[in-house]
Amino acid sequence: MPARSDAFSLIAIATLILGFDQLTKFALVSEIIPRQGHSRLDLVGGLIGLEYTENRGAAFGLFSGVTPVLALASIAILGALLLNYTRQRQPPLWHTLAVGAISGGAVGNLLDRVRLGYVIDFVSIGLWPNFNVADSAITVGVLVLLWGWLRPEAGWSRARTIDQEG
């Protein structure tokens, strides 16, 4: 089991990301878009903007129409990630940050799926599919996790779990 401070840090990171994700989605739907009178607000010369979209699939809109399956998959993956995290006695900081970011983002998108039946995406950059704060947190968290696991001095193969120390 991680130290209490590690668990607190993970929960704090996840909660901050979840709160910011839900706050930005709420602000977009209730304030920004209604005041503009249309679903897009250009910010940086049309290259970057806020554009309301409903993503009924997974990343890039893939697997549209299977919201219950996506919700269950999110819960299963998040559960496995947290189980792995809790098996470490002293998770490194990068692991706490990554799992906190992924957890907060996953719960943010999961709340949308359960409550609305779709995920609200709104950041628009060029031709890239729209995304949101939760998507960004998940992406950064996965990249940090991969970076940490692939480093020879602190990687997956050297992570010591409670069972191994036993």
Catalytic residue among 6, 21, 112, 121: 121
Does residue 164 register a pLDDT over 80?
no
Q: Is residue 11 part of a domain?
A: yes
Predicted pLDDT of residue 12: 96
Would you call 121 a catalytic residue per the annotation? yes
User: Which residue range(s) make up the domain with 97?
Assistant: 4-151
Predicted pLDDT of residue 166: 47
Q: Is residue 41 part of a domain?
A: yes
Catalytic residue among 6, 21, 112, 135: 135
Q: What's the pLDDT tens digit per position in 51-78?
A: 888 988 776 666 666 667 778 888 999 9
Q: Is residue 161 part of a domain?
A: no
Burial 113-128 (b: 16+ CB within 10 A, else e): beeeebbbbbbbeeee
Q: Is residue 159 part of a domain?
A: no
Could you give the number of structural domains in the chain? 1
Q: Is residue 166 part of a domain?
A: no
Q: Is residue 160 part of a domain?
A: no
DSSP-H helix ranges across 38-66: none
Nearest-angstrom CA–CA distance, 51 and 130: 8
Q: Is residue 91 part of a domain?
A: yes
Nearest-angstrom CA–CA distance, 135 and 122: 11
Nearest-angstrom CA–CA distance, 105 and 23: 13
Indicate the length of the chain as a whole number.
166
Q: Is residue 164 part of a domain?
A: no
Predicted pLDDT of residue 64: 66
Would you call 6 a catalytic residue per the annotation? no
* Mean pLDDT value of segment 78-92: 89
pTM of whole model > 0.85?
no
